[in-house]
Structure 1
Amino acid sequence: VVKMYIVNPPGILSLMWKVAKCIMDQKSQSRIEFLFKPEDLLLHLDAHAVPAAFGGTWTDTSGWAEEPEYCCNSAKTIVSIDYPKPHQVWFDNGFKCAPPMIHGTIKSKQTFVVSRTVTKPGTRLVWEFDVNGDVDFDITRTECAGSAQQGKEEPVWPRLTLNCLKMNEQGHLVCKEPGEYRLRFTNSNSTWFVVKLEYAVGLID
């Protein structure tokens, strides 16, 4: 989180914040700011980044937003019928069958890395995995050997903490540039228990 703006907070939240500030470091405090009018967002953000309903110029005409000027949808309860089917990501991305799942374990404070080398822009990187505990998951790209920027690493998928409680994680990424793509699974816990990982990763043009 770079900066979080909380607009028109309820009184109880403002009270909780006064308590939380006593145990929070200065850097974390600076990332959270309370605003009491939606229009105050324009004091901190460009107009094109603020929804029109709150005084900015941003509208969502993609069809996803129920009201374009609000740029969002109403809250919806997710039920089992909304879950993707196991292995569905492979068929959605052109695979004739799902690759076999591979087993692994991740010890406390360690990172498990799965690498795939992409040679052509536009290649799809597809993954599916299941874990029995919290893991931090992200993807980075590293320049291949022989490149002028060999070894330079950049993030291409944000780092998220995940736990597969109801279903496994599935996803894909269109690789815009060649390089070595590294899917990283990090066990940030400090317990003695290992995290069990079952995964499959594939490439398709």
Structure 2
Amino acid sequence: MGVKTEFRSSEPISDLEKSQINSVRAMLQEKLPNGIPDDVNTDLNLCRWLRGYHGDMEKIVKNFATYLASRKAAGFVGDDFAEKFFELPDIEPFLQYIASSRLQDRQWSDEHNAFLFVERAWSQPKEFIKTFKTSDYLLHCFGYSEMLQQLILRREKKQSADKGPVQFIVIFDLNTVNITDYVNPMSGYMKLWQIRSELWQDWYPEMVQRIYLTNPPRLLGLLWKVARVFLSEENLKRIEIISHTPDLAGKFLPAWLVPKEYGGEFVNTVPPGDETGVSIRRKITSADYYKPYLHYKSHGIERPKPSHKDVSPSDKFIFKIQVPKDKKLLWDFIASGEVQFAIYKGNNRNDLVFPSLHLITNKLNEEGTLNDVSDSEVSFEFQNLSGYFTLKLEYTVAIV
């Protein structure tokens, strides 16, 4: 007998949804200059977007277009992406600080039409934001979400569409969390966690079936308050707090699916994951803190004198520069508030060369190198996300 759970697998596509899928596909084909890539142009995938956005076609088209352009700019494409993700040069250096699932989709449940994902919460939030630029962490989360989506799409390709959309089940371990670190909603790490949650909810809707929070703090009221900062109402309903660890395998999930650490029977034997299937992180020290502006020094120059710009509430500032043939572009910026940032060629926002990301520079500046923009005009776009306060921007661009 299967374990009873109030969250069942996602329903198959309904007749009404089939009609809506055709409509949103037509709208996307018209909006996107190169059409919808084959891997994400499936009924089940578009169904996830329809359900996640409650049928709001305009929002779907806008966010889907930005997601695709950002995915391409980040290099998160290719049939073998799920296998090569952890080896990417922008990802691999940071893996030692993150304890997240290496199970891929091996812990699979037919009953739930879902696989298991396990993650341990940050244990050093104040050190974490001194080690990662916001974009570093968001690109990690973006790529990780894309990897999970590719595993989902592969599963869906192999099985009947009548089973409905594939999802994954999250076990999120709060054992190392000091909940009082998250009381201030304006702290840098709270903002970073909020932006991370915003990214996967906007670009990967309806992929999560259930979120089990294990080893919760005693202050459950505060935990719920923190969760409301990060999650939509829809995803809040997916949370189950497991105050008594054996209940996870006893009441909510089959014992064979749950790692032994959380009261189940599963023991992982595939490296680099531990017995639970989670990568082993190491403690962050001051030697690991990010050192800014090294990309200028590595090209034999000092950081040029920065420019300054005040961006009015909700306004955009676009800075354009022509890059000569056989040259590359170095850049950095600091902003006084939250900014939606993107870099693209010419006036074509669908031709991103740096993903469109919601960024903050509370602790570290943002910076980077663009190698593939030779002989082209490049646009840097900064949108002030505050509707009330002027954004003070300091930025530098150098051609080498």
Using structure 1 for the length normalisation, give the TM-score: 0.60
Q: Does 1:130 align with 2:327?
A: no
Alpha-carbon shift at residue 24 of structure 1 (Å): 4.9
Task: Quote the residue 2:154 is aligned against.
Answer: 42
**Within 2, Cα distance between the matches of 1:128 and 1:40?**
36
Q: Deviations over 1:140-177 (max 9, x none)?
A: 112xxxxxxxx656221110011101111111111244
Structural mapping, 1:132-151, within 5 Å: 132-142=336-346
Name the amino acid aligned to 2:55.
Q
Spell out the pairing of 1:38-187 with structure 2 (5 A cutoff): 42-44=154-156, 67=272, 74-75=280-281, 80-92=286-298, 94-121=299-326, 123-142=327-346, 154-187=351-384
Report the CA distance shift for 1:78/1:131 in structure 2 as closer, same or farther (over 3 A). farther
Paired with 1:24 and 1:152, the residues of 2 have a C-alpha distance of 26
Residues 1:86 and 1:177: Cα distance change in structure 2 (over 3 Å): closer
Contact 2:323–2:373 (CA under 8 A) maintained in structure 1: no
* Structure 2 partner of 1:18: none
Give per-residue Cα distances to partners, 1:67-100, cap 9 Å, x unaligned: 49xxx954566555333323222112x1321101
Partner of 1:202: 398
User: Which 4+ stretches in 1 moved above 3 angstroms?
Assistant: 21-24, 38-41, 72-81
SS at match of 2:371: strand
Q: Does the C-alpha gap of structure 1 residues 152 and 124 become closer, same or farther in structure 2, counting only changes over 3 Å?
A: same
Shift of 1:189: 2.4
Counterpart of 1:82, as a letter, is D
**Distance in structure 2 (CA, Å) of the matches to 1:99 and 1:35:** 54
Paired residue type of 1:163: I
1:126 and 1:198 map into 2 onto residues whose CA distance is 15
Q: Structure 2 stretches of 5 or more lacking a match?
A: 9-49, 65-111, 117-150, 159-270
Alpha-carbon distance in structure 1 between the residues aligned to 2:152 and 2:381: 39
Closer/same/farther in 2, CA of residues 73 and 95 from structure 1, 3 Å limit: farther
Asked whether the 8 Å contact 1:106–1:112 carries over to 2, the reply is: yes
Find out whether 1:25 has 2:54 as its counterpart. yes
For residues 392 and 156 of structure 2, the distance between their equivalents in structure 1, rounded to whole angstroms, comes to 44
Distance 1:85 1:133, change over 3 A: same
Distance 1:178 1:41, change over 3 A: same
Relative to the length of structure 2, the TM-score reads: 0.33
* RMSD of aligned Cα (Å): 3.7
Give the letter for the 2:360 counterpart.
Answer: N
Hey, what's the Cα distance between the residues in 2 that align with 1:79 and 1:35?
41
Distance 1:133 1:190 in 2: 11
Q: 2:287 aligns to what SS in structure 1?
A: helix
Find the residue that maps to 1:200 and give its secondary structure.
Answer: strand
Deviation for aligned residue 1:109: 1.8
Change (3 A) 1:152 1:40: closer
Aligned pair in 2 of structure 1 residues 157, 40: CA closer, same or farther (>3 Å)?
closer
Distance in 2 between residues matched to 1:134 and 1:119, nearest whole Å: 32
More helix by share: 2
Query: Greater strand percent: which structure?
Result: 1
The CA distance in 1 between the partners of 2:285 and 2:317, in whole Å, is 31
Is 1:190 the counterpart of 2:368? The answer is no
Residue 81 to residue 119, structure 1, CA distance change in 2 (3 Å): same
Q: 1:73 to 1:188 in 2, by over 3 A?
A: same
